[in-house]
């Protein structure tokens, strides 16, 4: 009987760090997947976590877990596939050391990923962005912090993990102002800061210097904020912003939506997709092409370039009086 625990300990203490050199975010994602899987297996088998064995991880058990993620937890196909990747990573390393479970593990490794619908990019229009940035209470410390955080997110397009990890030394306000971070895939990048962003960040940094810790956007005790904390703060400000801009209420807005907003702002300003990919920290432009599909303005411009010279450019608008239109035919 091969217990599951030693295989997990071997993977996370040796393989993930010493051999693969996985990033902390990847290790955390894999860890969370196995936490969920072990809790699910314990609940369905009635066994405590330290009594689970490797042989229990058959196709039926893993498929039931993945279905649980989608049906009970409401996870998307993308999240489901990410969890499957984390499971495969550990089992692929365990397989050579446990030939007695080779057939069972090989079948799990062969499980296909779930096909997903094309991604639709959600982003904020200019009026919606302004309403959101104006939502934090200007009379409180947390309001100053949140406004600086949201302003930086919308202008730079940093990922939520990158925003969380920022320290005060990552912001450079002198000549050539910019913010530095180490993002996905351990890729280092520096993103320029605009005058408008500096106007918010500089006074915030002065106020921030009187508080403990080095996190750029700290919690009550100076610690780095968590992902959940950032999403909760955003949700709070969205309620306020929606009162001023009702269209926000029709959108599902997360911190990643602010990243999309930054990309769409650059695209609509005429910035090349390759530059936007560098700005966002994408490894290639394939991930950035999705913004081209989302921008109807670019598509309208393309249509206008192919129009007949006698046709007025722009989108067709039906006449106000339908009967008069019909009479004119």
Q: Cβ distance 141 to 279 under 8 Å?
A: no
Walk across the sheet containing 188-192 and list its strands: 171-172, 178-182, 188-192
Residue 98 appears among annotated catalytic residues: no
Residue 242 has pLDDT above 90, yes or no: yes
Residue 205 has pLDDT above 80, yes or no: yes
pLDDT given at position 323: 66
Of 61-70, 242-251, 288-297, give the lowest mean pLDDT range: 288-297
Predicted confidence (pLDDT) per residue in 69-87, tens digit: 999 998 889 899 999 999 9
Q: Mind spelling out the 3-state secondary structure of 231-245?
A: HHHHHHHHHHHHHHC
**Averaged pLDDT for residues 169-191:** 90
Residue 256 appears among annotated catalytic residues: yes
Reported as a pLDDT band with limits 50, 70 and 90, residue 127 is very high
Indicate the DSSP class of residue 191: E
**Averaged pLDDT for residues 278-284:** 83
Residue 188 appears among annotated catalytic residues: no
Residue 310 has pLDDT above 80, yes or no: no
CB atoms within 10 A of CB 190: 12
Average pLDDT, the chain: 88
Residue 221 has pLDDT above 70, yes or no: yes
Q: Which of 31, 107, 189, 256 is catalytic?
A: 256
Residue 251 appears among annotated catalytic residues: no
**Averaged pLDDT for residues 3-18:** 89
Q: Which of 11, 30, 204, 291 is catalytic?
A: 291
Reported as a pLDDT band with limits 50, 70 and 90, residue 277 is confident
Reported as a pLDDT band with limits 50, 70 and 90, residue 196 is very high
Q: Which of 184, 189, 236, 251 is catalytic?
A: 184
Q: Which of 80, 144, 208, 282 is catalytic?
A: 282
What is the C-alpha end-to-end distance of the chain, expressed in Å? 83
Reported as a pLDDT band with limits 50, 70 and 90, residue 214 is very high
pLDDT given at position 22: 84
Of all helices (H) and strands (E), which one includes residue 178?
strand 178-182
Predicted confidence (pLDDT) per residue in 96-105, tens digit: 989 999 999 9
279-285 long-range contacts (CB < 8 A, ≥24 apart) are 279/157, 279/191, 280/157, 281/159, 281/162, 281/183, 281/184, 281/187, 281/189, 283/185, 283/187
Write down how long the chain is: 329
Q: Which of 144, 159, 233, 260 is catalytic?
A: 159
Q: Which of 237, 259, 260, 265 is catalytic?
A: 259
What CA–CA distance (Å, rounded) separates 142 from 260? Answer: 25
């Amino acid at each position: 009987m091969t217990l599951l625990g030693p295989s997990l300990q071997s993977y996370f203490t040796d393989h993930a760090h010493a051999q693969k050199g996985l990033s902390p975010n990847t290790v955390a994602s894999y860890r969370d997947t196995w936490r969920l899987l072990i809790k699910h297996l314990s609940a369905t088998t009635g066994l405590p976590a330290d009594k689970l064995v490797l042989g229990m991880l058959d196709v039926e058990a893993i498929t039931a877990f993945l279905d649980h993620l989608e049906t009970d937890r409401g996870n998307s196909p993308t999240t489901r596939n990410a969890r499957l990747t984390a499971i495969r990573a550990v089992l692929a390393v365990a397989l050579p050391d446990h030939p007695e479970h080779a057939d069972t593990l090989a079948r799990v490794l062969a499980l296909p990923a779930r096909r997903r619908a094309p991604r639709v990019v959600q982003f904020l229009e200019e009026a919606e962005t302004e309403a959101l940035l104006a939502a934090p209470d200007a009379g409180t410390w947390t309001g100053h912090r949140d406004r600086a955080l949201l302003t930086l997110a919308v202008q730079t397009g940093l990922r939520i993990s990158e925003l969380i990890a920022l320290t005060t030394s990552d912001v450079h306000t002198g000549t050539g102002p910019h913010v530095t971070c180490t993002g996905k895939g351990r890729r280092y990048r520096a993103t320029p800061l605009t005058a408008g962003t500096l106007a918010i960040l500089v006074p915030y940094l002065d106020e921030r210097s009187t508080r403990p810790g080095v996190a750029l956007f700290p919690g009550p005790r100076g610690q780095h904020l968590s992902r959940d904390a950032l999403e909760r703060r955003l949700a709070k400000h969205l309620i306020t912003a929606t009162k001023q801009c009702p269209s926000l209420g029709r959108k599902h807005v997360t911190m990643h939506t602010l990243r999309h907003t930054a990309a769409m702002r650059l695209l609509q300003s005429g910035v090349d997709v390759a530059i936007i990919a560098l700005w966002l920290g994408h490894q290639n432009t394939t991930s950035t092409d999705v913004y081209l599909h989302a921008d109807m303005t670019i598509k309208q411009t393309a249509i206008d370039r192919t129009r007949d010279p006698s046709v007025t450019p722009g989108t067709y608008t039906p006449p106000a009086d339908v009967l008069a239109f019909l009479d004119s035919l």
